[in-house]
């Protein structure tokens, strides 16, 4: 499906810098594709010639580590995905999988490069976002490694609440096993810790639906391990 970028409500910060004609170029060289929950959007090791713009939904970025699959981060719209692949060696260096029903734009790489070249504001926004990603990734890694597991779980819950769902009540988009490989712990530990949080009156759970009752406690746990 083709859509008109000039009136798209899902537009990126970078694309917002594009002038009408460049935006038209973008319009003419992309297709919108829908993915269902669980669908693989890009797969590590495969060849790719598109930049992907996440316009709607929620995805996980994961890589196959030396032993197991590891979720690197969750990404929500609006954001470009798979930039490193496209600009680098064209082989996907990580996988991206939909956690909810998701819509993305596949943008032709040649077009994307042309835009970078012809529009310096666009390029600068892309550079800005890549820089942000790098810092985020340093920070995330340091946190994961230094904090104890409880702290990491608390942080993930807060992060979902604040940055992804903007609400104290939401449905966790991951299984406990997935949470485990996001915060580098075992499935069993996640289960135990969630029970503990619930017992302590910090959260309330019904299946995957979670409500944060005592945000302050959760923040303290997140900070102090």
Partner DNA sequence: TATACATTGTGATTTAAATCACAAAATGCC
Partner DNA sequence: GGCATTTTGTGATTTAAATCACAATGTATA
Give the interface with DNA as residue ranges (CB under 7 A). 148-150, 175-177, 184-189, 191-192, 194-195, 205, 207-208
Peptide bond preceding 78 in cis form (omega within 30 of 0): yes
CA angle 145, 147, 150 (to 5 degrees): 125
Among residues 129 and 176, whose Cβ is nearest to DNA?
176
Options 49-57, 102-110, 146-154, 200-208: segment touching a second copy (CB under 8 A): 146-154
Nearest to 112 by CA among 131, 136, 141, 90: 90
Interface with a second copy includes 120 (CB under 8 A)?
yes
User: Dihedral of the CA atoms 97, 103, 106, 112 (nearest 10)?
Assistant: -110
Judged by CB under 8 A, the residue of 4, 13, 28, 134 near a second copy is 134
What, of DNA, a second copy, none, does residue 87 touch, CB below 5 to 8 Å by kind? a second copy
What, of a second copy, DNA, none, does residue 130 touch, CB below 5 to 8 Å by kind? a second copy
In the bound complex, what is the minimum distance in angstroms from residue 181's beta carbon to DNA?
10
In the bound complex, what is the minimum distance in angstroms from residue 69's beta carbon to DNA?
12
In the bound complex, what is the minimum distance in angstroms from residue 171's beta carbon to a second copy?
27
Among residues 195 and 223, whose Cβ is nearest to DNA?
195
Judged by CB under 8 A, the residue of 9, 135, 199, 206 near a second copy is 135
Binding residue count for a second copy, defined by CB under 8 A: 45
Nearest to 18 by CA among 149, 134, 148, 117: 117
Judged by CB under 8 A, the residue of 6, 45, 124, 162 near a second copy is 124
User: Radius of gyration (Cα) for the chain, nearest Å?
Assistant: 19
Q: List the beta strands (DSSP E) in the chain.
A: 30-35, 40-42, 50-56, 59-64, 69-75, 79-81, 95-98, 102-108, 169-171, 203-206, 209-212
Identify the residue whose tokens are 């409880």.
150
Among residues 45 and 225, whose Cβ is nearest to DNA?
225
Among residues 151 and 173, whose Cβ is nearest to a second copy?
151
11 φ/ψ angles, rounded to the nearest 5 degrees: -60, 145
Q: Which residues pair with 106 in a beta bridge?
A: 31, 52
Q: Are 201 and 195 in contact (CB under 8 A)?
A: no
Applying CB under 8 A, the residues found at the interface with a second copy are 61, 63, 65-68, 70, 72, 83-84, 87-88, 93-94, 113, 116-118, 120, 123-124, 126-128, 130-135, 137-147, 151, 184, 223, 225
């Amino acid at each position: 499906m083709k859509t008109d970028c000039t009136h798209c409500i899902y537009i990126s910060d970078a694309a917002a810098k594009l002038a009408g004609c460049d935006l038209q170029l973008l319009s003419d060289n992309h297709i919108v594709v829908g993915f269902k929950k669980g669908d693989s959007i890009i797969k590590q090791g495969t060849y790719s010639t598109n930049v992907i713009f996440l316009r709607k939904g929620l995805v996980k970025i994961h890589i196959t580590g030396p032993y197991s699959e590891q979720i690197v981060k969750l990404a929500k719209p609006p954001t470009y995905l798979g930039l490193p692949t496209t600009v680098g060696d064209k082989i996907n260096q990580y996988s991206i999988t939909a956690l909810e029903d998701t819509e993305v734009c596949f943008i032709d790489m040649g077009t994307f490069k042309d835009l970078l070249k012809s529009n310096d504001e666009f390029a600068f926004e892309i550079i800005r976002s890549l820089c942000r990603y790098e810092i985020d990734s340093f920070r995330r890694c340091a946190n994961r490694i230094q904090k104890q597991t409880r702290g990491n779980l608390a942080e993930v819950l807060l992060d979902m609440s604040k940055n992804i769902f903007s609400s104290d009540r939401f449905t966790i988009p991951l299984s406990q096993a997935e949470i485990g490989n996001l915060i580098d712990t075992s499935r069993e530990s996640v289960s135990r810790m969630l029970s503990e949080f619930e017992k302590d009156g910090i959260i309330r759970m019904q299946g995957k639906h979670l409500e944060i009752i005592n945000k302050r406690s959760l923040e303290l746990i997140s900070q102090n391990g």
